[in-house]
Amino acid sequence: MFTSRSEYRLLLRHDNADRRLLAHGHRVGLRDRAALDALAEKNRLIDETLAWLAREFRDGRSLLQCLRRPDTTLNDLVAREPALAARHLPAVVSEQVEIEAKYEGYIDRQERQVEKVERLESLHIPDSFDYSRIRHMRGEAIEKLSRVRPESVGQASRIPGVSPADLSLLLVHLGRR
């Protein structure tokens, strides 16, 4: 799958594939314990570095806040701060730290989106539900929902012609029942 075609491309990046998938590969026997231990060490270094950068540094700001600026790289900070230079970070760790720092807000927002979709998938619609009873729902949405008969609100959200406003009305109506 091309990550550019993914709905959640910020979470499914190539640079974090090992962090997302290595444990699964180990579980099914594709990766050995040494690879899992190396990943644990990499994750530890990333987490420690992000925590270290988040500490208050000067003027109430942290190095993490400086790193979030578009024109600042981790190499810029290493050149200016001897304490950071002394950490001797591997390139893969430096790259991951910089990506996580710069995209943290966007990644958090996408994680919340995923959680919302999962909640919608768990909201079931009764088989006998009468969509025509929902006042103010567009006719096209009523027609498509009645024809498809989705099992959950999540499935209903993927039906072409069903708008977010239609879903809101459906959620309100399901909440009353």
Note the pLDDT tens digit of each residue in 81-109: 888 888 889 999 999 999 999 999 999 99
pLDDT tens readout for residues 33-66 = 999 999 999 999 999 999 999 997 777 889 999 9
Which CATH number fits the domain that encloses residue 149? 1.10.150.570
Residues 56, 35 within the same domain: yes
Residue in 18, 174, 3 with CA at minimum distance from that of residue 95: 18
As a whole number, the mean pLDDT across the chain is 90
100 and 136 in a single domain? The answer is no
Give the confidence band of 177 by pLDDT, cuts at 50, 70, 90.
Answer: very low
pLDDT at residue 1 greater than cutoff 80 = no
Please, is 101 exposed, middle or buried when counting C-beta atoms within 10 Å of its C-beta (0-12, 13-18, 19+)?
buried
User: What is the domain count for the chain?
Assistant: 2
Say whether 124 sits in a helix, a strand or coil: strand
